[in-house]
Amino acid sequence: MLRWKLKKSVPFEVEETLISYMRQAPREGGVDVVTALGRLRIIREYEALAENLGLTPGVVLSSSLAAVSLLAEHRPTLLARIAGQALTTVIVRDGVLCGYRCTELPVHGTSLTPQMLLEEIYPVAAYYQDTWHEGIQGVRVAGLGARLPEFVKPLETEFHCEVRSLLHTAFSEGRLSDEARPLADRELEGLVGWMLQRN
The 10s digit of each residue's pLDDT in 108-163 is 888 999 999 999 999 999 999 998 899 999 999 999 989 999 999 999 999 999 99
Alpha-carbon distance of 33 to 23, in angstroms, equals 4
Judge if 33 and 106 occupy the same domain: no
Claim to verify: residue 107 and residue 159 sit in the same structural domain: yes
Same-domain status, 72 and 10: no
Cα(69)–Cα(4) distance, rounded to whole angstroms? Answer: 29
Strand partners, 33: 23
How much is the CA Rg of the chain, to the nearest whole Å? Answer: 17
Domain residue limits at 78: 63-199
End-to-end alpha carbon distance in the chain: 33
pLDDT of 195 strictly over 90: no
pLDDT score for 199: 57
Q: Using CA atoms in the order 123, 124, 125, 127, what is the torsion angle rounded to 10 degrees? A: 80
Query: Is residue 11's pLDDT more than 80?
Result: no
Residues 103 and 184 in one domain: yes
> 37-80: per-residue pLDDT in tens?
888 999 999 999 999 999 998 888 888 888 988 887 789 999 99
Q: Could you give the CA distance from residue 188 to residue 67 in angstroms, rounded to a whole number? A: 9
* Count of structural domains within the chain: 2
